[in-house]
Amino acid sequence: MIKLEKPIALAADHGGFALKEAIKEHLQELGLAYQDFGTVTGESCDYPQVAQPACEAVVKGECGLALLFCGTGVGISIAANKIRGIRACCCSDVFSAEFTRRHNNANALCMGGRVVGAGLACSLVDAFLNAEFEGERHERRVNMLKEIEDAQATL
Ligand code: RB5
């Protein structure tokens, strides 16, 4: 049984809205808390605008991990990775969803509402939430990602 200390941040544009709603039901069944940063309808909206507050909640420590959705999962993953401290991975296979936690210490999983069905998305979410960062050599590499962020901030 998955246990998380902090709520999961959820965000989607219109292309990921239906999948976000399906994942909310899944999280409720698992008894996991979440905070929904929108969108709240299927009306057209812009994925950077929903990604930013959800990812900032993770960076500030208000939420533990983020689950993000757009049509492909790609746009919202690019937006998420612009936020310092976010390591977002767009996944449509269970192996990557598990290993991006284990090896990359990813804190955001991105999925495409036009790419994966709700059943597969639930399996991706379970793989992501159940996996733990392995540290050791992977910690060195993740630290290098932070060094790149720090170097970019001074350009
Ligand atoms: C919206 O039509 C679509 O471009 C968006 O959801 C996403 O797929 C972008 O990467």
Ligand 1 binding pocket includes 73 (Cβ within 6 Å): no
- Does pLDDT of 2 surpass 90? no
Ligand 1 binding pocket includes 15 (Cβ within 6 Å)? yes
Position 75 pLDDT exceeds 90: yes
State which H helix or E strand residue 75 sits in. Answer: helix 74-80
Residues annotated as catalytic are 70, 103
CA distance 105 to 124: 15
Separation of 137 CA from ligand 1 center, angstroms? 35
Mutate to test the pocket of ligand 1, among 13, 45, 76 (most ligand atoms within 8 A of CB): 13
Summary mean pLDDT of the chain: 97
**pLDDT tens across 88-118, in order?**
999 999 999 999 999 999 999 999 999 999 9
Distant-in-sequence, close-in-space partners of 96: CB < 8 Å, separation ≥ 6? 89
Q: Residue 151 in 3-state DSSP?
A: helix
